[in-house]
Amino acid sequence: MITPFRYGLCIGFALLLCLAPPLVLPESASAQSYGYPIANPRVLQERREREAAQRGSIFDNQPHGPIEALRQARAMTGALAAIKPQRKGNIDVYVIAVAMDSDAVFGREAAEAARVLANRYDAVGRTIVLANGTGAAGSAKDPVVPEGSPEHLAQALGHIGEVMDKEEDVLALFITTHGHWNTGLSYRDGDRAGGNIAPERLGGMLNEVGIKNRLVILSACFSGVFAPVLQNQSTITMSAATAEKPSFGCRAENDWTFFGDAFVNHALRKPIALNEAFAEARGMITRWEVASRLDSSSPQIDIGPQALVWMDKIDAKIPKVAGQPKGMPAFGVAPPPQERPKPAPLLPKP
C-alpha cells in the first residue's frame, strides 16, 4: 500500500532528476588521443597514412635469408664500385633508375630508362639500376640487380654525391612505381617488404647529399605532389600526373607505362631539347587518354631558372640520330589473351 509519505518521496525524487544537470561522461581514450568526437575508421586511416608519409617509413619488412642477403650486398657493392669518377672540365650526368614496386612493368621501364638516359647524356659507366621483382634482368657479368629499396636509393645517392662534382655535374633520378596522394611513392618487394617514400623524405635525401643540379623524373600516379618539395633554382622536376590525378598503363604485363613510353621510349630517343621532349610526350599521352576515354593525367614539369644553363649543356651531348622505340607499346596493342581454365576431366561412373 502506497502511503502519502512514500508517494511524496517518489514525486520528490522525480523532480530532483528532472532538475539535475545532465551527467557528462569522459571521452573514450581513442577520441582523446586523436581529437575526434567519434573514432571514424577512415579518418584514422588517413591520419596514419599522412604520418607514415611524413616519416617515409617502411611499415612491413621481413629480412632476407642469408643467401639472398649476401647476393644483394654483393650486387649493391658491385654497382657502386662500377661508377666512374667525374671528368674534370666536363659536365657529367649520373643516372639512378629505380623500380620501387615488384610489378614487372616497373623493372622493365627502369632498366630501359637507364639505357636511354645513359645513351642520351653520355652516362655509360655512371648509371645505377635498382629494381624490385624480375622486370629488370641483369647482365651476364652482373646477373643480380640490386633491389629498389629506400635504403639502396639512399646508398646510391650518397655514393654518387661522393664521386661527382656537386657544383658542376648533374644527377638524373628516374623513379617508376605506384603512387598515392597521401604517402607518395610506393615501395613493395612482393610480400616481403612494403612502404613508401614521401615528398619530404625524398627531398631530404637529395638535400642531405648536397647535389645542386638535379633532374628528377617520377613515373607514378599523383607524383605531382612532389613538385612543391623538390623545387629549387637548379632542379628540373617532371611528374607523370598532378598531385590529384592518377597516371595510366601500369599493368604488370606491360613493358611501359603511358608516361614512360611517351617520354622515355619515344621523346627522349630523339635529338630534341629536354623541355621539347616533355611537351611532345605530354601531347602523346593526352591523345592516348582521349582515345581510351580516360581522365587526363596532366603530366607536370617545373624548371628552375638556373637549371636552364645546365640543361642546355647536357642537351649538347644528345646523339644526332634518333633511336628506335623498344618493347610493347603502352597504347594501341590489345592485352594478351587470358587462358581459359581447362574443364575438369569427366570421371567414369562407379
Residues in the chain: 350
Which pLDDT score is estimated for 40?
A: 66
Backbone angles phi, psi at 196, to 5 degrees: -160, 160
For the sheet containing 60-61, what is the strand order? 60-61, 193-197, 184-189, 179-180
The answer to whether 252 touches 104, Cβ cutoff 8 Å, is yes
What pLDDT was estimated at residue 343? 42
Facing residues of 195 across strands? 187
- Alpha helices of 148-296 — where are they, by DSSP H? 150-163, 199-209, 227-230, 258-259, 274-291
77-99, pLDDT tens digit by residue? 999 999 999 999 899 999 999 99
Q: Which residues contact 34 (CB under 8 A, 6 or more apart)?
A: 43, 44, 47
| pLDDT at residue 49, as a whole number | 62
pLDDT of amino acid 32: 36
Angle between helix 199-209 and 150-163 (nearest 10): 20
Q: What pLDDT, on a 0 to 100 scale, did the predictor assign at position 113?
A: 98
Q: What is the pLDDT of residues 306-337, one digit of tens each?
A: 999 999 999 999 999 999 999 999 887 544 44
Tell me if 259 sits within 8 A of 282, measured CB to CB: no
Contact 269, 324 (CB under 8 A): yes
Direct distance between the N- and C-terminal alpha carbons of the chain, in angstroms, rounded to an integer: 82
Check residue 160 and give its pLDDT: 97
Tell me: the pLDDT tens digits for 6-28? 555 555 555 555 555 555 444 44
List the one residue out of 149, 172, 152, 157 whose CA is nearest residue 102. Answer: 149
Report CA-CA distances (Å) from 227 to 56, 103, 152, 237, 242. Answer: 17, 25, 23, 6, 9
Angle among Cα 126, 202, 235 to the nearest 5 degrees reads 65
Structural domains in the chain, CATH included, are 54-315 (3.40.50.1460)
- Could you say which DSSP state residue 165 is in? -
Q: Output the pLDDT for position 164.
A: 96
Per-residue pLDDT of the chain (350 residues; tens, 9 = 90+): 556 555 555 555 555 555 555 554 444 433 333 344 455 666 666 666 666 656 665 556 788 889 999 999 999 999 999 999 999 989 999 999 999 999 999 999 999 999 999 999 999 999 999 999 887 775 556 668 999 999 999 999 999 999 999 999 999 999 999 999 888 999 999 888 888 999 999 999 999 999 999 999 999 999 999 999 999 999 999 999 999 999 999 888 999 999 999 999 999 999 999 999 999 999 999 999 999 999 999 999 999 999 999 999 999 999 999 999 999 998 875 444 444 444 444 444 44
